[in-house]
Amino acid sequence: MKAVRFHAHGGSEVLRYEDAPDPVLRPGDVLVRVRACALNHLDLWNRRGVVKLPLPHISGADVAGDIAVSSDPEMPVGRRVMLQPGLSCGHCDACVAGRDNFCARYDVLGSQSDGGYAELVRAPRQNLIPLPDAIGFTEAAAFPLTFLTAWHMLITRAGLRAGDDVLVLAAGSGVGQAAIQIARFHGARVFATAGTDEKLARARELGASEVINHHTQDVPAEIRRLTSNRGVDIVVEHVGEATWERSVKCLTRGGRLVTCGATTGYKASIDLRFLFSRQYTLIGTYMGAKGELLRAAQLFFAGHLLPAVDRTFPLQDAAAAQTHLEQSHQFGKVVLEV
């Protein structure tokens, strides 16, 4: 098959479009012909070598395609699917309790195993989600990882309730555009930040009630103004070092800061006097459980959640696609079409 691989860690120049062996199936696996694969920041971390990976390596966690080889009559060859990006052991206490993203062996497709920057990808049967005919491969590939992450953050971990005020950072990011839609659907009032007027307008279209330009406006001051000095119930963080202190300042008493990333750096500090006296909760999250993605997918298929697709690239231009993502000019997902 054709695939985009890297044989050494580094910049986007290490990505090579080349021949690679077809994936070898294990019992319970199906082979999926990839039609679209969305990019994630995880792909950049993996390429740069933040975590040790088997080399050469094929990235790609967000896949939509059709089944090429299957021994399961309920998932026949030709069936259109998108893939759950989470891989886990399937039999530990976390897995059987439906909390597979807490499995000690949890992994994301395209990290320790090969992913979807290829014509074919191997996936466990339980990772297949059948697609309705009306859902295209490109939008399907743009859905799983960020909507799963945002769902787990807001609904499961931060306990979002109707009427909550939610601040979503970086509306144009994959997690940002998903979080705006999920929070709005569940009855929250959503505030969103972005760095350009165009992105702020898109954030409003997705359901943000109020938008803040983080380059030209003081985010905590704007939040105080917009909430009559109260602050927000939930902050959706994933930017990290550059925004952390200001994010904490946006919380109301008893507020929850939930984070799934640190794109701008890992170092953060917090004034413990405010943590206890204002009774903040700091929540770390990573991915989400399979059942959560199935629930979110129902809303996607019914038209309530729509992944924003910024731009598509052909598979062989994966290096240009990753560079585009690294420049942070996008609103929504960057997708490879195969």
* Site of interaction with Zn ion (CB under 5 A): 88-89, 92, 95, 103
Quote the least distance from Cβ 118 to Zn ion, whole Å: 26
Quote the least distance from Cβ 95 to Zn ion, whole Å: 3
Residue closer to Zn ion (CB basis): 88 or 146: 88
Strand blocks (E) in the chain: 2-5, 16-19, 29-38, 62-69, 80-83, 86-87, 107-108, 120-124, 128-130, 165-168, 189-194, 210-213, 232-237, 251-259, 281-284, 309-314, 333-337
Quote the least distance from Cβ 97 to Zn ion, whole Å: 10
Residue closer to Zn ion (CB basis): 92 or 242: 92
Quote the least distance from Cβ 92 to Zn ion, whole Å: 3
Picking from 168, 247, 258, the residue whose alpha carbon sits closest to that of residue 207 is: 168
3-state secondary structure of 36: strand
Quote the least distance from Cβ 149 to Zn ion, whole Å: 19
Amino acid at 12: S
Picking from 183, 175, 185, the residue whose alpha carbon sits closest to that of residue 145 is: 175
CB 178 within 8 A of CB 307: yes
Residue closer to Zn ion (CB basis): 221 or 294: 294
Quote the least distance from Cβ 70 to Zn ion, whole Å: 24
Quote the least distance from Cβ 2 to Zn ion, whole Å: 33
Q: Which residues of 24-45 are buried (b: 16+ CB within 10 A; e: fewer)?
A: eeeeebbbbbbbbbbbbbbbbe
Strand pairing class (189-194; 210-213): parallel
Residue closer to Zn ion (CB basis): 14 or 148: 148
Picking from 103, 184, 109, the residue whose alpha carbon sits closest to that of residue 141 is: 109
Residue closer to Zn ion (CB basis): 31 or 103: 103
Residue closer to Zn ion (CB basis): 103 or 153: 103
User: Phi/psi at 196 (nearest 5 deg)?
Assistant: -135, 155
Residue closer to Zn ion (CB basis): 86 or 231: 86
Other CB atoms within 10 Å distance of the CB of residue 210 = 18
Give me the residue whose beta carbon is nearest to Zn ion.
103
Structure tokens at 297: 């997918």
Residue closer to Zn ion (CB basis): 32 or 103: 103
Residue closer to Zn ion (CB basis): 70 or 127: 127
Quote the least distance from Cβ 86 to Zn ion, whole Å: 10
Quote the least distance from Cβ 93 to Zn ion, whole Å: 8
3-state secondary structure of 328: coil
Place of tokens 């960057």: 334
Element (H, E) at 207: none
183 CB-side CA count, 13 A? 36
